[in-house]
């Protein structure tokens, strides 16, 4: 049996979890989220706990068992604490600013890059070089952070580009005659 799938999720105070049809809804102080439950996975909400079970031991069902539990656990954590990602911009003249519902990036291209901020996310920029992305949906926060980083990933020679705050960029030496 799945080690992750069989662990029960504790529902904190102020959070409600409801199952309706093939969907599970989580409401909390920061907002509400909904997620579909795959076929073959049963959900039981009782006594302040959410438990998951599967109908058979086929490999796809076993994988979905742990996945379903992890998705609902992230939903519960999202509506109580929320998720955030921090990106740092490194490079001379590279900067960012929030312009209404858009993120404007100047990254050394001949034009500024404009990105629409998805609904449900809050983006703030500190000192023009630190981007903080906050939201209750873990997947949405991570995907938007990855999309921003993909515009100008850090390069290995000078380290210029957009990186996650805790990311270590492996530096290369460069040409032997340059020293």
Residue 175 confidence (pLDDT): 83
Binning pLDDT at 50, 70 and 90, where does residue 153 land? very high
Strand extents, DSSP E, 21-75: 23-28, 31-36, 41-46, 49-54
Give every strand in the sheet of 95-99, ordered side by side.
95-99, 102-106, 113-116
Tens of pLDDT, residues 88-126: 999 999 999 999 999 999 999 999 999 999 999 999 999
What angle separates helix 138-151 from helix 59-80, to the nearest 10 degrees?
90
Statement: residue 2 has pLDDT above 90: no
Per-residue confidence band for 174, with pLDDT thresholds at 50, 70 and 90: confident
DSSP bridge partners of 32? 27
Pull the structure tokens for residue 41: 């996975």
- Give me the pLDDT at residue 21, please: 85
Chain-centre distance for alpha carbon 18: 23
The rounded distance, in Å, linking the Cα atoms of 27 and 122 is: 19
And the tokens for 29? Answer: 């102080």
Q: What whole-number distance in Å separates Cα of residue 119 and Cα of residue 135?
A: 9
Predicted TM-score (pTM) of the model is 0.91
- For range 25-32, the mean pLDDT: 96
Cβ neighbours of 177 (radius 10 Å): 5
Domain annotation for the chain: domains and CATH numbers: 9-80 (3.90.930.12), 83-164 (3.90.930.12)
d(CA 179, CA 117): 43
């Amino acid at each position: 049996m799945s080690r992750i799938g069989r662990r029960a999720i504790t529902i904190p105070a102020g959070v409600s979890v409801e199952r309706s049809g093939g969907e599970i809804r989580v409401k909390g102080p920061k907002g509400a989220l909904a997620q579909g439950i795959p076929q073959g996975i049963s959900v039981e909400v009782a006594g302040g706990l959410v438990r998951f079970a599967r109908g058979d031991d086929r490999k796809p069902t076993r994988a979905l068992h742990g996945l379903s539990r992890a998705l609902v656990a992230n939903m519960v954590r999202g509506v109580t604490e929320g998720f955030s990602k921090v990106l740092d911009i490194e490079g001379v003249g590279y900067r960012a600013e929030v312009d209404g519902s858009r993120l404007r990036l100047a990254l050394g291209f001949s034009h500024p890059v404009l990105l629409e901020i998805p609904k449900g996310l809050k983006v703030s920029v500190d000192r023009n070089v630190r981007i903080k992305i906050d939201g209750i949906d873990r997947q949405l926060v991570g995907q938007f952070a990855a999309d921003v980083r993909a515009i100008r990933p850090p390069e290995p020679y000078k380290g210029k580009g957009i990186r996650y705050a805790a990311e270590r960029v492996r530096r290369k030496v460069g040409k032997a005659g340059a020293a």
